[in-house]
């Protein structure tokens, strides 16, 4: 089927008390594996990519591969551009029919972030594309975007929701105490902040830096109102570790079969999706989901 609306998937999830897994795919193998696993679990899924991946393959190639996988699936599939401070790349994703983009203005000051977010939502909405907005810093560097400096930009709940409403943002990515990458120390999670934001607005709330949280922590965030959860690092590790294991075995056995490598990577990526669809309670929810 055609791409689903990221905003609609998140709204359905919030109403249904679950969160949609948003996983950072990196190529055709991970796209196919993620969609097949979501289909088998009956879970809606958001495929998302970093700007780095878009720069490698191009927005058209990724959209074509994701659309082909979505066409074979019976669950809703959305394609989302993750953390993008670069307006030219956003325009490229919009031109190739992606479901949504994350305009990352966390490196801009408040007034600039507000003005540019309004411009991006106007451009995206004219093409039927949803916008996730980030104007606060989420700690950690992800594929070259972001900062290890905590809370350079951090605003009141009212200011955050005010900007989102004024700019017609479709989803918001607030600072929630989580970080990108692997945790070196236990994070201080701002579950209460989600509850407070959810009381102020119906705009879906996105949790970044999901890798490494416990099942109880995910449940607390979902119960508080998070409806899209981003998983990047876990998928990267599953991808690379399975490739390493396969290549080590090929070296030992002397058997070099690329498709067997793809199978092993695909199986590892699929397991990540299955696990998260269960943790986020999105498994079995696809039938009820409305697509755009």
Closest distance between Zn ion and the C-beta of residue 154, in Å? 16
Distance, in Å, from the CA atom of 196 to the CA atom of 157, rounded to the nearest integer, reads 7
Closest distance between Zn ion and the C-beta of residue 255, in Å? 38
Q: Which long-range contacts (CB under 8 A, 24 or more apart) does 110-115 make?
A: 110/135, 110/153, 110/155, 110/159, 113/153, 113/163, 114/163, 114/166, 114/167
Residue 14 or residue 208: which is nearer to Zn ion going by CB? 208
Six token digits for residue 86 = 């670069």
- Residues paired with 103 in a beta bridge: 84, 133
Closest distance between Zn ion and the C-beta of residue 146, in Å? 7
Residue 208 marked as a ligand binder: yes
Residue 208 or residue 285: which is nearer to Zn ion going by CB? 208
Residue 134 marked as a ligand binder: yes
Residue 208 or residue 246: which is nearer to Zn ion going by CB? 208
Sites of contact with Zn ion (CB under 5 A): 208
Residue 22 or residue 198: which is nearer to Zn ion going by CB? 22
Residue 125 marked as a ligand binder: no
Residue nearest to Zn ion (CB): 208
The angle subtended at Cα 237 by Cα 235 and Cα 239, nearest 5°, is: 70
CB 274 within 8 A of CB 40: yes
Residues with catalytic roles: 82
Residue 80 marked as a ligand binder: no
Residues in the chain: 292
The angle subtended at Cα 123 by Cα 122 and Cα 128, nearest 5°, is: 90
Residue 80 or residue 208: which is nearer to Zn ion going by CB? 208
CB 131 within 8 A of CB 118: no
Closest distance between Zn ion and the C-beta of residue 230, in Å? 5
Cα 185 off chain centre by: 23
- Give the list of residues 6+ apart from residue 179 with CB closer than 8 angstroms, or none: 138, 139, 140, 187, 209
Distance, in Å, from the CA atom of 96 to the CA atom of 98, rounded to the nearest integer, reads 6
Residue 42 marked as a ligand binder: no
Closest distance between Zn ion and the C-beta of residue 183, in Å? 14
For residue 83, the surrounding DSSP H or E stretch is strand 77-84
Query: Dihedral of CA 275/236/268/56: which sign?
Result: positive
Residue 74 marked as a ligand binder: no
Which residues contribute to the annotated binding site for Zn(2+)?
83, 104, 134, 180, 208
Binding residues for dihydroxyacetone phosphate are 181, 209-211, 230-233
Binding residues: 83, 104, 134, 180-181, 208-211, 230-233
């Amino acid at each position: 089927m055609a791409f689903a609306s990221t905003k609609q998937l998140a709204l359905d999830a919030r109403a249904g008390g679950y969160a949609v897994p948003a996983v950072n795919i990196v190529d055709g193998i991970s796209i196919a594996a993620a969609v097949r696993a979501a289909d088998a679990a009956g879970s809606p899924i958001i495929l998302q990519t970093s700007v780095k991946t878009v720069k490698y393959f191009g927005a058209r190639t990724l959209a074509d591969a994701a659309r082909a996988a979505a066409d074979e699936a019976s669950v809703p599939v959305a394609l989302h551009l993750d953390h993008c401070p670069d307006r030219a790349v956003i325009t490229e994703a919009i031109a190739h029919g992606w479901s949504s983009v994350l305009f990352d203005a966390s490196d801009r000051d408040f007034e600039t972030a507000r003005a540019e977010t309004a411009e991006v939502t106007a451009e995206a909405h004219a093409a039927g594309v949803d916008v996730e907005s980030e104007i606060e810093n989420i700690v950690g560097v992800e594929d070259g975007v972001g900062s290890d400096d905590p809370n350079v930009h951090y605003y009141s709940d009212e200011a955050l929701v005010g900007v989102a409403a004024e700019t017609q943002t479709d989803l918001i990515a607030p600072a929630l105490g989580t970080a990108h990458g692997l945790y070196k120390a236990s994070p201080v999670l701002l579950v209460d902040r989600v509850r407070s934001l959810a009381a102020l607005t119906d705009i879906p709330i996105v949790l970044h830096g999901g890798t490494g949280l416990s099942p109880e922590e995910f449940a607390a965030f979902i119960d508080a109102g998070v409806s899209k959860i981003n998983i990047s690092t876990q998928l990267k590790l599953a991808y690379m570790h399975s490739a390493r294991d396969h290549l080590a075995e090929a070296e030992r056995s002397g058997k070099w079969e690329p498709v067997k490598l793809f199978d092993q990577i695909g199986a590892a990526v699929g397991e990540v999706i299955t696990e998260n669809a269960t943790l986020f309670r999105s498994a079995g929810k696809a039938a009820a989901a409305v697509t755009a």
